């Protein structure tokens, strides 16, 4: 799969994952050939619209907006200017892809296993958030019943110290929500890529990162596919 096709798979995979999360909260999205939209949800960290084609217009991206509801847009190709719609760039990132090679020796320092029940999922989310989740959980147990989803945890003496979410759809395995308390990114990324590749060795691994995590992903063998932006309402002064 060449770079353009990998980028398309990464975008579609991410939209399908966002839809799975929103669906688990009762807000399934709608797909067209150009956009994914779930206009009514208010989940933190998840957009209400995702562009699936680089030629999506600003008018299309905000067509599902219902004021005064929060509305965020994942501009998958960093082509849109939504400032006139009252949105501002929340962050910019880079799509990445990793092509699994022949299975190599495992990292004896990190061992990964799947989260399998609601109690484990709550503990995983607390570790990911870095605090107790006071309100409604973001990741609901319904996700564990989705055969495309595998939530992995690395534990030390029974405590979750690292984790990642994987989602196999759109001809790729998407990874997101990677964290590792006290672990260097240079140790975490090679280990998690091996663990995810072992689950679905026939699929490329895709996702997006920025900053030090992007640098660590590149060092671990991921290739950059192209930029994206997330637009969100301009915060009140």
- Per residue in 155-178, pLDDT (tens digit) is 988 899 999 999 999 999 999 999
25 vs 1, more confident? 25
Could you identify the residue written with the tokens 């501009």?
75
Q: What is the mean pLDDT of the chain?
A: 92
CATH number (3.40.50.1460, 1.20.1640.10, 3.40.630.30, 3.40.1350.10) of 98-224 reads 3.40.630.30
Mean pLDDT of 132-144: 84
Residue 137 has pLDDT above 60, yes or no: yes
Tell me the mean pLDDT in the region 51-61. 97
Cβ-contact 229, 80 below 8 angstroms: yes
- Whether the pLDDT of residue 228 is over 60: the answer is yes
- pLDDT class for 132, splitting at 50, 70, 90? low
Is the model's pLDDT at 108 over the cut of 70?
no
Residue 109 pLDDT more than 70? no
Are 127 and 179 within 8 A, CB to CB? yes
Residues 166 and 148: their CA atoms lie apart, in Å, by 8
Q: Does 104 have pLDDT greater than 70? A: no
CB 7 within 8 A of CB 190: no
Choice between 98 and 69, residue whose per-residue pLDDT is larger = 98
């Amino acid at each position: 799969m060449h770079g353009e096709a990998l980028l398309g798979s990464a975008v579609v995979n991410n939209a399908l994952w966002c839809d799975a999360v929103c669906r688990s909260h009762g807000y399934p999205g709608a797909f067209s050939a150009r956009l994914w939209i779930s206009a009514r949800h208010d989940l933190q960290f998840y957009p209400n619209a995702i562009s699936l084609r680089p030629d999506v217009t600003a008018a299309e991206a905000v067509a599902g907006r219902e004021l005064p509801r929060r509305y965020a847009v994942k501009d998958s190709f960093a082509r849109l200017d939504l400032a006139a719609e009252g949105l501002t760039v929340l962050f910019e990132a880079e799509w990445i892809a990793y092509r699994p090679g022949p299975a190599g020796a495992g990292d004896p320092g990190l061992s990964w296993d799947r989260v399998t029940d609601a109690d484990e999922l709550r503990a995983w989310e607390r570790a990911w958030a870095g605090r107790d989740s006071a309100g409604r959980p973001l990741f609901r147990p319904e996700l564990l019943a989705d055969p495309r989803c595998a939530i992995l945890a690395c534990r030390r003496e029974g405590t979750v110290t690292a984790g990642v979410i994987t989602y196999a759809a759109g001809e790729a395995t998407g990874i997101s929500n990677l964290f590792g308390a006290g672990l260097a990114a240079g140790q975490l990324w090679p280990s998690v890529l091996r663990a995810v590749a072992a689950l679905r060795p026939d699929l490329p691994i895709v996702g997006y990162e920025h900053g030090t995590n992007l640098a660590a992903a590149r060092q671990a063998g991921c290739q950059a596919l192209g930029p994206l932006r997330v637009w969100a309402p301009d915060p009140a002064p």
